[in-house]
Each structure stands twice: as structure tokens, then as C-alpha cells.
Structure 1
């Protein structure tokens, strides 16, 4: 079995066979990382076969499928996390070993432990061309804004801190307030992680933004406003969502004018994150109020487009519509091909590590719900797929909080807060 020893912790190499994976423990390896997308060539075993072989061998397995043009910082950090969690030596592979090594050296460079010159020297020493890593780093340095994603595995949600390196100003997008539906407990673990990152980087929060009223998690917008003093914002059509759910909750005292937020954005509105220009795109279809934030070269699309291997968002919530979602997606795909797209959820198909960044060009070429599709075919696919999906488990819990900008219900006479839970309000029962 061919492999190249990078250091005491890491070796990289080309595609191993199943029998070679089974032999890894005998060579002192505790972890296998597969950095190769399935179906690159007919003879590769593929993710499921490698995972099964790793299980049989009694070693840990990580799936971080990348191509060189689409490597993102999330992939690099996932590789670092797999290395950090390893209880022993790691063998990482792609087709030749180059991409696996590039994931490693990019992490070292991003954390300041390697320079581009040192990367080139390492590549020459190991006989691997790492020039693509230096090109990636140069392109990464030129990106504006800087985007840091935070994945919440309980809700599969991605939260963002979007910052302007020039001014140190930032926006927080779609923050999660922790909620355990079994115990009724709330917490601020996710939101505090965002605040810790902001403090560590010396950033100033300028905006707290939601893309729409979420159905699968509570918004931490109000908590973060109390902590930072930054204004909250959402799309202006949130008033339509408030009217809709006012009826579902039988909640006549609910204010349905959007006044729970500091600013309501309409299609085409502009604002700034530090010195970076930002624009709002109305993107309904998933909900009545969904919007996209285009900040510099980065578009935050939340529940419209997922990663290419996951397709698109559902459109069967109250107020959703598959054909309207198609039109919203076409507006997003009308942006320049190099525009970075940041999605709001990742459901980790194939058990791969979380991913949340793509580009317009990549989505047009490879998204399984969009490439080669017509509006008619998309609507038919989306409606059929949505009929098979149960309602999100937190939808009735979350909406009464999220149509109030993340405000929890006021305490009652005994000091406790209570959620109102309407029975038989929605279709889509689990049975």
C-alpha cells in the first residue's frame, strides 16, 4: 500500500482498496479520512464501502469529499477536527493523496503555522505539487467579507458571523437559541459561541439578521441584541407570516406590524457591514417572508438552495409555494457565477462532514434539483418530495418565538414561561 508520511500524526496516499483499509490497524492507524467524492471513477469503493471497511477494521472514519475548485474553509476545518479527535495516527486519501494533503496544509496556513513558502518546500520534499494550496490561500485573502460558519448538529442549522476585515464590523446571521423539546429547557450555548468568536477577533456587531422566521429552531436575535446593542432585522413580508400564524395560534393580542424588529427590509434595500455594500433580495417560496442577504461577494440564501448534493428547500410550509421558490432560486442563480452561496442547513448526506459554502456556478452545474431542470419539472419534484417529509419537530414551538424576533413568552404569575401548542393545526403527521 503506497502512502506518504507527513508527520507522526498524518500520512496521505492514493485510493486504498477494501483489503488495504482492513490492514490499516496493523500499520498503527486509528483513523481513515476519505477526501474523495463518490463516482469520480468507476473502480473506487465509495463512501459506504469505505465506512463499512473502517467499521470492520475497528478504526474511525471521516468523509470530507472535495474537489480542488470547491474546497472551502469548512472542509479545511472539518479535516482539522477529524485530526484533533483522532486517538492515534491518521491515514487520509483522495485519488492520489494531493487533496488530502492540501486540506492539511491549508489548516496549518490559516492558523499561522505555515507560510506559502513553507507549503511549497513541504510539497517539494514529499514529491507532491502543492501550488494549488498557495493559489487557494491567495484567493482566500482577497475575499470580502470574511465568513465564519457555525454548525448546530441538533437542528442541522448553520449560523454565520460575516465581517469586514477593514473596519472590524460584522453581522450575525440566523443565530440559534438552544431549545430541548423534551425537557422544555432553553440555553444560549450557540449564541455564546458566536459572541466568543466576535470577542476573540475583536469585532463589533453591527447587525443581527434573520433570513426568515425559522421553523426548526428558535432565533437568538433578541438575546444577541440584549448582549450587543446591535439592531435586529428581517424581511418586511414577515408581517404576512405574523398574520398567518396569529390565526393558527388564535393569538389576537400579537402585534402583526413587524415592530418586534428594528428594521424590516424590502426587496432591493441596501445597507452596509462596515465598508462592505449589502443588498436584500426577496426570496419567497419556502416561506412568505424569506430573503437573501447579498453582502459583498457572499449571498446568504438559507432555505432556498442547499449544498449541491442535497438539492433545495421544501416549499410546503404554510405560505410556501414550489413555483415561487423556483423563481426565487433563478434570481439567486442570476448572480455572477463566482458569487459565494451560504446555505442555512446541511443534512450531511452519506454521513459526510457538514458543508455550507458553494458558488452560483457550482450550483448551476451540479445541484441535483436544478441542473437541467425546468420550472414544471422542479415543481413536480418538489411537491412529490415534500409529501414524504414530516413537519419539523419544532415548528409549532419555534414560530411563536420567531415571529416575535426571538422573544420568549412573557413569564406568567408563577415566574414560568409557557409555549402555546395548537393541536391538529398542520398537515404532515408522522403516520
Structure 2
């Protein structure tokens, strides 16, 4: 076992045993970050055991599992937050310490405190080969479009800004409008964070896109249109969702022609973000109206597949279909293996840090709902799992907003807005 002090704030180490971890607190460390996925070898402590041991010792613990070839911006961001938020020195480990140091130096470069050309020498000075970090930076610099994800922890939603570095034009995908169901309070914290990013990066918003009418959060599309003047878009089959929920809500005055949006996309339609060409794939199954947006080597797959350790999306909402979801996923997995896939949600299984980027190759290799599955076995797995899931707590609140493009209900005579939803409107739901 070896540990290398990188700074007063950070020490990186190879895989510690129980005795070593038990002694970390006595050495003055305040937090431990585990960067090693479970199951890499039989001798390592797993995440649950390490978390329990460190909890007994009173240390903070972060689980940010990565492999050398699958590090993403989300992992780097999580590592930075875990180290900066610790109440003292941090002890980060993986098999050898290389992945932990890689996450650290990538964060230093992205934040401007280190130059890319300094990375290799910095690694050598501490006894590490950081050629993987150098390669990561080169790949990242060449990627088009540029994608920034924003994780919203209340609902596990991921929002995206997708930009063309040449023209500084961008699209916002699946933005969240804050809503607290306990108090009825609304706010625009998430959307304003996106607007601040757009301003900071000198971007012009060209599109505001939703992949589908969301069941677990309000869409901020309408609010962002007011702020930016950019057009709103969604898949054309939103009209079928409108008709379905018009009946559920007993809402005869609802317009069900999709006119709440500026553009209704058909399967195969194209659009532009600056000089970048985007196209639309109709991806039903999770909902009747779900679409995937493909821009360059990036695909925004909403609630079809999650990260490989989380499987796939449910298909039991009104209008959902596990068979349709399987076919939609197969179309996505037919994209080139290195296509970046950006999911719509992450629920942090095992307590790991949030992640949202994978590749087609990773999904085919490692997603337990997909690898080695047939349509028949997938449908059986998906239906059995869906029968155990309660409905999202905001489904009845959110749909009446989102089938109007994220517009809140109109104020009534007293100036207040009111939501309306049916009792026993969704049949025999799991409590």
C-alpha cells in the first residue's frame, strides 16, 4: 500500500485494506474518496463496506467510481466538489492512485490552474504516469459539440447546454423549473443557473428543447423562451400525450394541437445549432412522445437508457410500452460505438456521485437490462420491475404544466395560480 501527498489538501493512494482505512482518521484526514468500481478484484473492499467502516470512524465518504477510459466531466466535477467541500485533508484512492490523481489534475486544467502541457511532468514528479489524462484532454478539446450537464438533485434530472464552439450558438435541453410540492412554491434557480452559464460562456441560445413531457419535474422551457427569445421544440407526438391527459384531467379547453411549441419535430427532422447539424429520432416507449436529439457525436437519450449501472427507464406511464422502448433503445445502440449518450436522470445507485454521460459501446457491454437480452426477456424484466414502482410524486402536478410547454396555470381572479388533478385517476398504482 502506498500513499502520495499531492498537496496539503489531497493525498492519493492505492487500494487500502481495512486496517489502513481504520487508521486514516488518526492521521488527520477528514474525508475519503473511493474512485474504484466494485468488483475489480476479489481483495478490494466494496463500496458498502468502506462506507460503513468510515462512517464508524466519523469520516466523510465519497464514492466516485471511474475507469481510465470512461472518465467524464461529471466525475471530475464530483471529485472537485468532494475535495473542496471536505472539512480537512482528503484521502483519495483507487487501485494504484492514478485515477484519483487523474481526476484531480483534470479539474485543475479545466479550472485554469494548470496548463495541459504541465500534466505529464506533474504526474512524473509524484511517481505517476498521467498519459491517460493527457489523452483525455486532447479528446475533449476535439469534441464537437461541447456539452455541459447540470444535475438537479431534487428530482435527479439532468439539464444540458449543447454548444457549437465555432459560432457560440447553443441549445438548452430538458431544463427544470423548480417546484416544491409540499409548499406549492415555484422558483427559477435551475433555469437561472443555466442562463448564468450561457452569459459566462458568451453563448446565444438558438433552441430550447424538451425530449418529452416530463412526469417528475416542471419544464422551464417557457420561462427560458421569455428570457432568451429562442424557439421551443418537442416531438410531434406530444399531441397524443395532450389528448390522453386532456381526458385524465377532464380539461376540454386544453389545446391538443401542439401549438404551445414553436416547432414539432417528426422522426428524421433536422435542425441547426450554429454550424452543427442536429437530427431527431422518434424514441417512444417511456412516453408516447419521446424523442432523441442527435448532434454531432452526442445523443440526448432522455429516459430510455440510464447509466449502465442503473439500467433503463420505466415504460408503465399512460401510453408507455416496454416493447416500444426496446425498439427505441436498439435504434440508439445502432449509432456508432463512440457516440456519447446523455441520459435524462441519474439516481446515484450505491450512493455514488451523479453521472450522466456514457457511450454506445459502454451501454452494449455493461447495461444489465440490455447486454445479452432479447426483446422478450427485456419486456418481461421491464414489466416485472415496473409493477413494483410507485408513480413519480410529481406526475399529476407536472403533466398539466408540461403539456403546455412548461407554462404554469393562468392566474385566477384572486391573482393566484392553482393546480388541478384527479383522485384515483391513474388506476391501481403502487403506493
Which sections of structure 2, spanning at least 5 residues, go unmatched? none
**Within-5 A mapping of 1:157-236:** 157-236=157-236
Q: Are the aligned partners of 1:22 and 1:56 in contact in 2 as well (CA < 8 Å)?
A: no
CA distance in 2, matches of 1:211, 1:428: 27
CA distance in 1, matches of 2:237, 2:18: 54
| Alignment match, 1:244 | 244
- Aligned-pair distance for 1:21? 1.1
**Within-5 A mapping of 1:406-421:** 406-421=406-421
Q: Are the aligned partners of 2:387 and 2:430 in contact in 1 as well (CA < 8 Å)?
A: no
| Alignment match, 1:426 | 426
CA distance in 2, matches of 1:430, 1:37: 33
After superposition, the Cα gap between the structure-2 partners of 1:174 and 1:254, relative to the gap in structure 1 and judged at 3 Å, is: same
- Provide the secondary structure at the position in 2 that maps to 1:424: coil
TM-score (norm 1): 0.99
Q: Are the aligned partners of 1:11 and 1:90 in contact in 2 as well (CA < 8 Å)?
A: yes
| Alignment match, 2:156 | 156
CA distance in 2, matches of 1:166, 1:56: 52
1:18-50 deviations in Å (ceiling 9; x for gaps)? 221111111111010000000000111110011
- Aligned-pair distance for 1:428? 4.8
CA distance in 2, matches of 1:25, 1:138: 38
| Alignment match, 1:356 | 356
Q: Are the aligned partners of 1:4 and 1:13 in contact in 2 as well (CA < 8 Å)?
A: yes
- Provide the secondary structure at the position in 2 that maps to 1:68: coil
Determine if the alignment matches structure 1 residue 138 to structure 2 residue 135: no
| Alignment match, 1:34 | 34
CA distance in 2, matches of 1:192, 1:66: 31
Aligned residue pair count: 431
CA distance in 2, matches of 1:363, 1:140: 20
| Alignment match, 2:120 | 120
| Alignment match, 1:17 | 17
| Alignment match, 1:370 | 370
Q: Are the aligned partners of 2:29 and 2:88 in contact in 1 as well (CA < 8 Å)?
A: yes
CA distance in 2, matches of 1:171, 1:18: 48
- Provide the secondary structure at the position in 1 that maps to 2:132: helix
1:262-287 deviations in Å (ceiling 9; x for gaps)? 00000000011111110000000000
- Aligned-pair distance for 1:299? 0.2
Q: Are the aligned partners of 2:92 and 2:100 in contact in 1 as well (CA < 8 Å)?
A: yes
CA distance in 1, matches of 2:411, 2:311: 41
CA distance in 2, matches of 1:16, 1:127: 18
After superposition, the Cα gap between the structure-2 partners of 1:89 and 1:428, relative to the gap in structure 1 and judged at 3 Å, is: farther
- Provide the secondary structure at the position in 2 that maps to 1:23: helix
| Alignment match, 2:333 | 333
